[in-house]
Amino acid sequence: MASAVVPAIRVQREDFDVAHEIAALTKGRADIGAVVTFSGLCRDEEGALAALELEHYPGMAEAEIGRIATEAAERWPLQGLTVIHRHGKITPGENIVLVVAASAHRQAAFEAANFLMDYLKSRAPFWKKEHRADGSEGGWVEAKEADDEAAGRWKTSGE
Amino acid sequence: MSTKLIYFAWVRERIGKPEEDIELPAGIETVADLLRWLKSRGEEYENALQYPDVIRVAINQEHVGHREKIAGAREIALFPPMTGG
């Protein structure tokens, strides 16, 4: 098997362009048969939410996403992997997170993208604070136990 | 040797500062010891660390458990469970 890909990791305030990121992974290559992308967007919670403020731990955010992405690249035969996570103030309809996984076949790409999102949710050092549409501060979003359980299902025996 | 402590999200808000350099007293060996000692430093720390079990900790930018030894740590971060993605 060829050596694992080096994932591209970006933690940034700016938006990203999904089509551009797919093209960047596949351009000039004929060995990729499947690209799975996941984009996470900010919802308005039926009009109640004005914005999310995403705080992050600079340095560790990149390092932790890098560790998760490297594990994905070791577990699945990927030809390319890009992970982008935004921080700062994000309004409903805007992008928050992107995972692009490219592989020869779809199963590896689907599973790697799914694994990455489950682990990003419970291990990447980001925290969301809500700004409510009525002008009040909504407080910090609480972590969901379901997210920890989702990450737990990827554990291999011995971990 | 002083250690840099960094706080995020509601831990940062309750303690009232994003980071500080602290001389740790002798006898603080593990993350759990550190949390217990910090909690006794004043009302704002008491508020932030009231339920130490929910506090997540990273040493030198890597997740650790509360039993981890802190000897040699340059940077220790305390924060709530993460809500990214």
Between A2-11, A70-79, B20-29, the lowest mean confidence (pLDDT) is in A2-11
Residue B69 lies in a domain: yes
Per-residue pLDDT averaged across A87-106, rounded? 98
Domain hosting B47: range is 2-79
Instruction: Specify the amino acid at residue A25.
Output: L
Query: What are the chain B neighbours of A38 within 8 Å (beta carbons)?
Result: none
User: Are the Cβ atoms of B83 and A123 closer than 8 angstroms?
Assistant: no
User: Are the Cβ atoms of B84 and A54 closer than 8 angstroms?
Assistant: yes
Residue from the list A63, A117, A126 with its beta carbon closest to the beta carbon of B83? A126
**Sign of the CA dihedral running B81, B82, B83, B85:** negative
How much is the pTM? 0.94
DSSP class of residue A2 equals P
Residue B21 lies in a domain: yes
Determine the pLDDT at residue A138. Answer: 87
- Among A155, A154, A156, A24, smallest CA distance to A102 is for A24
**What radius of gyration, in Å, describes the C-alpha atoms of chain A?**
16
For residue A51 the two structure tokens come to 């914005």
CATH number, residue B13 = 3.10.20.30
Determine the pLDDT at residue A130. Answer: 96
In angstroms, the separation between the Cα of residue A152 and the nearest Cα of chain B is 15
Per-residue pLDDT averaged across A118-143, rounded? 94
Residue B17 lies in a domain: yes
Residue B84 lies in a domain: no
Complex prediction ipTM: 0.96
Taking CA atoms, what residue in B is nearest to A54? B84
Determine the pLDDT at residue A148. Answer: 84
Which domains can be identified in chain A, with CATH numbers? 8-133 (3.90.1170.40)
Q: How many domains does chain B have?
A: 1
Residue B85 lies in a domain: no
Q: Which of A57, A116, A137 to mutate to test the interface with B (most CBs of B within 10 A)?
A: A57
Residue B41 lies in a domain: yes
Query: What are the chain A neighbours of B65 within 8 Å (beta carbons)?
Result: none
Evaluate if residue B15 carries a pLDDT over 80.
yes
Separation CA A90–CA A72 (nearest Å): 28
Residue B6 lies in a domain: yes
- Residue A112 φ/ψ, nearest 5 degrees: -65, -40
Query: What are the chain B neighbours of A57 within 8 Å (beta carbons)?
Result: 6, 8, 58, 61, 77, 79
By percentage, how much of chain A surpasses pLDDT 90?
Answer: 84
Separation CA B71–CA B60 (nearest Å): 11
Per-residue pLDDT averaged across A70-91, rounded? 97
Residue B49 lies in a domain: yes
pLDDT tens digit sequence for A54-64: 999 999 999 99
Per-residue pLDDT averaged across A117-132, rounded? 96
